């Protein structure tokens, strides 16, 4: 798996910092909130990248919130 992940800026409610989803090829894509600051989006990107590295998205028992 590539160490760098694509990121998509999307207008989301400000209560949502970001999330990860799998694209049509099954690759994870990180979405960060365009309404937040660059610094917050950097933190969110790193946070979501850790979820990918740990395999949280494939763990049916994992619940973050």
Domain spans, the chain: 7-58
Give the largest Cα separation in the chain, rounded.
32
Give pLDDT, residue 2: 46
Per-residue pLDDT of 30-65, as tens digits, reads 999 999 999 999 999 999 999 899 888 776 666 665
Give pLDDT, residue 3: 60
For the CA atoms of 38, 2, 57, 19, the dihedral, rounded to the nearest 10 degrees, stands at: 20
pTM of the model: 0.81
- d(CA 30, CA 33) in angstroms, rounded, equals 10
User: Strand 18-22 to strand 28-33: parallel, antiparallel, or no bridges (unpaired)?
Assistant: antiparallel
E strands in 1-65: 7-10, 18-22, 28-33
């Amino acid at each position: 798996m590539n160490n760098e992940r694509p990121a998509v800026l999307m207008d989301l409610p400000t209560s949502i910092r970001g999330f990860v989803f799998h694209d049509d090829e099954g690759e994870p894509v990180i979405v960060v909130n365009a309404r937040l600051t660059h610094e917050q989006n950097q933190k969110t990107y790193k946070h979501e990248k850790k979820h990918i590295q740990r395999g949280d998205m494939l763990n049916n028992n994992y619940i973050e919130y």
